[in-house]
Chain A
Amino acid sequence: MKKTRQQYLTRGLILIFIGIIMLIIFYYQRSTEHQTNMFYLDTYISVKIYTHDKKKATEALQEVDRIYQQYHQLADSYQAYDNINNIYYFNEVALVNEKVKIEPELYHLIQYGLDAYKQTNGLVNIALGNVIDIWHTYRDNADGIPTKEELQKAGSTNINNLILHKNYLMEKTTDIKLDLGSITKGYATQVVGDYLTNLGIDKYLINAGGNVKVGNHYQKNRYKIGLKEPKPNSNNIFKVINANNISVVTSGSYERFYQYDGKIYHHIIDPLTLFPPNYFYAVTVITPNNALADVLSTALFLMDLESGQAFIKSFNNVDVIWYDINNKIHYSAGIKNYE
């Protein structure tokens, strides 16, 4: 009799032990969230990672901050920084035909800009600085628009006037000015995503002001990424994208713009006409690589719908949502995979 009671007790303890183990496993699967927020590249950037390794998380988020800060400084066209030759230096200080030594990171970023130019038949042009400067001045004063002649006389926008040499040297052959605004956010976000993945942190969510990149989900699910209706003062979500290991990037005309004579003038300038186009309120691109998504969303924003639909046929795994100025929403065929 005494023996059996002991047996019950032992079995009972074993069962309790199994229960505790199950609970621990359950909680361990729910990775804890670590977050950092920062202001770089003229935007508010929020990065969330999910891991139990607190020390690793802290180090990773510090490195993420450093990466964004580095690209912010390299692409900055408004000010110089100590010990680096950035876009400001190249535009405002460097002489024509001076070979400027730049960081490998900036070199590869510019190389990516040159590739983007070819890939988009010149619609994404990082040598548009002279024209963009004039638009900025008009937008800041919120009064009037420049004439075509004024824009054409602004200075060279010919990307062939920019030469990348070996050993991280670059040179301009005319007065061209670079503006990396159309590529840097996506490129840096892709670098951050790759860094986290290589570190073994595959569960993350990055939102860099309209550029979203997600890894694996923090539970066994898909991320739900809402697309905001592209209207000023609207908070409606017109579409939800469900996906993991994806980038969702929107180019829109409704956040940085001014009105003149009843028309809206926004910040995305067509390199061919030198004016902002008026096809869409927003174009959203969904594809794994954030840098590509950034480039394609800008290019598609500058094309009409039919040209855009034809253009994306040459890309694999790229889906698009066009929100046109008649408030009609057009979806590429693959969007159904994200519903």
Chain B
Amino acid sequence: MNKSDWQLLAIIIIIIISLFAITSLFNYNNSTIATVYYDNNIVLTLDLSIDENREYRVKGYNGDVVIETKKDMIRVKEEISPLHICSRQGWVKSTYEVIVCLPNKVVITLSDNKNKLDTVVR
């Protein structure tokens, strides 16, 4: 190994380290991501730090489910079901909470990278 070999090695190491840095940077941005499932299929993915103050309609088993967003928060505004459990649940901002509209087969989960837990026992 002579001088230019070492230079080349250094360049490669720098490239690898910066790739690591870039990927971990992507993993640690602080946005809250809401994922909306209908019958186990993802129908909507929202970044709640960008998609704020908006309304979305997704298909539910009994008809449309209306979802409203605010900064880092989400709720089900309207849905058709006997007890309205998921619209009564109101605004959800914690990643420990799940919105489950059982009659409509719609589930909304929140995730962010500040939350270091893998799962929660409730």
Contacts and interface: CB of A to CB of B under 8 A. Distances in A.
Tell me, yes or no, whether A binds B.
yes
Interface of A: 8, 11-12, 15-16, 18-19, 22-23, 36-39, 44, 205, 207, 209-210, 212, 214, 223-228, 235, 237, 240, 248-250, 252, 255, 284
Contacts of A235: 94, 96-97
Contact of A8 (B4, B13, B96, B122): B4
A307 to B, nearest CB: 23
Contacts of A18: 12
A235 B92 CA distance: 10
B96 A228 contact: yes
A66 to B, nearest CB: 13
Contacts of B40: 36-38
A279 B117 CA distance: 29
Interface string B3-30: 0110011001101100100000000000
Interface stretch (B46-54, B64-72, B100-108): B100-108
B96 A37 contact: no
Contact of B120 (A11, A39, A225): A225
B121 A226 contact: yes
Nearest to A235: B94
22 contacts: A15-B5, A15-B12, A19-B12, A19-B16, A37-B107, A44-B98, A205-B118, A207-B119, A207-B121, A212-B119, A214-B118, A224-B118, A226-B96, A226-B117, A226-B119, A227-B120, A235-B94, A248-B121, A250-B121, A252-B122, A255-B122, A284-B121
A62 B96 CA distance: 26
A38 B40 CA distance: 7
B19 to A, nearest CB: 7
Contacts of A205: 118-119
Nearest to B122: A228
Given A16-B8, A224-B116, A250-B122, 8 more contacts: A11-B8, A15-B8, A19-B16, A225-B118, A225-B121, A226-B96, A227-B121, A228-B121
Query: Chain A contact residues: over half helix, strand or loop, or mixed?
Result: strand
Contacts, number: 80
B9 to A, nearest CB: 6
Interface residues of B, number: 27
Interface in B79-109: 94, 96-98, 100, 102, 105, 107
A235 B19 CA distance: 37
A225 B12 contact: no
Interface centre among A23, A37, A38, A207 (most CB of B within 10 A): A37
A214 B119 CA distance: 10
Nearest to B98: A44
Contacts of B13: 19
B12 A16 contact: yes
A209 B1 CA distance: 59
B96 A223 contact: no
A226 B115 CA distance: 11
Contacts of A23: 16, 19
B86 to A, nearest CB: 11
Contacts of B15: 19
A27 to B, nearest CB: 9
B121 to A, nearest CB: 5
